[in-house]
Amino acid sequence: MKPSDKLGRWVGRIVRQAVVILATLMSLFPVYFMVVSAFKTRGEYIANKWGLPTTPILDNFAIAFAGEKFLIRFANSTILTVGSVGISLIIACLAAYAFARMDFPGKRAIFNVLLSLMVVPPVVMLVPLFVSMVRLKLVNTYPGTILIYVGLLLPFSVYLMTNFFRTIPREIMEAAHIDGASSFGVFWRIMMPLSAPAVITLIVVNALWVWNELLIALVFMQKDELKTLMVGITALRSKHYVDIPVTMAGLFIATLPIVVLYMFGQKYFIRGLVSGAVK
């Protein structure tokens, strides 16, 4: 090998490492900024924005918890997330079982429609849904908003579960049928226990989506005591006087459930995204 080749390879390695490290630092900086600011006093934040807190304090978290109906908002977000993820999971599993293992007229057409609905932007549905919900007296109610979320989550959920169910060998089902199991029995006793990884994927992906959602929550949960955490957070921006360290502590708490959920289901989460996109 010529010395120039060796040098080129060495430079290449350095460039690569440098690019990736730079990108990583950029990815992490806002998170770092949020975390360190949350532990600073206001005075220290103004004097020292970049550095680590010299004397970390926890007061900001106490103030954030106490202020602006934080706990109510947290509870609202939790109710909507658990409700819509749970209901959409049940419906999606049943529907996916039908798509994967039963024959009925128009199956392919319905499945294709479902696929194209995966990326319909919710903003398009906002106005007519609002009109319908007003008529049904479902604006500012948990069931109304959960219903909308369930509808928006279903296309991806059914798609993911159908793909997974198709990978379960038919022979297992047929054996159970011969042993006298009903369709529902096969679904409940055989398909579901085998589908744990797909179910976890779905729960993680959907829960993140609902927790982070803003537009629907903004329009359909307008009453102050019904606002979600994300809606509550956006209100902070427009205030003239903002205690930034306390805000950062609030953001930190709002992000924590997501980071925990992600760490718990990281493998499943990435698998879910990839299977939704790549196949």
Partner 1 sequence: MTVALLFVFGYPVVRLIMMSFQRTSKGQEVFVGLTNYMALFQDEVFIRAVRNNLTLVLNVPIMVAAALLLAIFLFERIRGWKIYQTTLFLPYLLPIVVVGLIFSYIFQLSGVLNEALIAIGLPQLALDWLGSPKLALWTIMFVIIWKEVGLGVVLFLARLMSVEEELFDAARIDGASWWRIQWHITIPQLSTVIEFFTVISVITMLSWVFNYVYVMTAGGPGNSTMVTELYVYLQGFRYNQMNLAAAASVLILVITGILIFVQFRLRERAGEEETFA
User: What residues between 144 and 203 interact with partner 1 by CB under 8 A?
Assistant: 147-148, 150-152, 154-155, 158, 166
Kindly indicate which of the ranges 59-67, 105-113, 177-185, 186-194 contains the residues binding partner 1, using the contact rule CB under 8 A: 105-113
Stretch that binds partner 1, among 16-24, 58-66, 175-183, 185-193 (CB under 8 A): 16-24
CB under 8 A: which stretch of 78-86, 109-117, 175-183, 189-197 binds partner 1?
109-117
Q: Does 241 bind partner 1 (CB under 8 A)?
A: no
User: CA-to-CA distance for 178 and 257, rounded, in angstroms?
Assistant: 45
Q: Identify the residue among 248, 249, 265, 268 touching partner 1 (CB under 8 A).
A: 248
* Cβ contact 221:76 at 8 Å: yes
Among 214, 224, 225, 264, binds partner 1 (CB under 8 A): 214
DSSP code at position 48: -
Distance CA 126, CA 107 (A): 28
Contact between residue 142 and residue 83 where contact means Cβ atoms under 8 Å apart: yes
- State the nearest-atom distance from the C-beta of 16 to partner 1, in Å: 5
Please identify, using beta-carbon distances, which residue of 54 and 234 lies nearer to partner 1.
234
Q: CB of 199: closest distance to partner 1 in angstroms?
A: 17
> Which residue's structure tokens are 């990736």?
20
How far, in Å, CA of 13 to CA of 248, rounded? 38
Nearest alpha carbon to residue 222 among 231, 213, 211, 235: 231
* Of residues 37, 70, 87, the one with CA closest to residue 206: 87
Q: Which stretch binds partner 1 (CB under 8 A): 67-75, 177-185, 189-197, 226-234?
A: 226-234
- 270 SS3 class: helix
Per CB under 8 A, contacts with partner 1 among 23-62 are 23-24, 26-28, 30-31, 33-34, 37, 49-50
User: Which residue's CB is nearer to partner 1, number 85 or number 92?
Assistant: 92
Q: Decide: 229 and 67 in contact? Cβ < 8 Å.
A: no
Instruction: Please pick, from the candidates 121, 137, 178, 180, the single residue that binds partner 1 as defined by CB under 8 A.
Output: 121
Distance between CA 114 and CA 157 in Å, rounded?
Answer: 10
Q: Is 278 in the site for partner 1 (CB under 8 A)?
A: yes
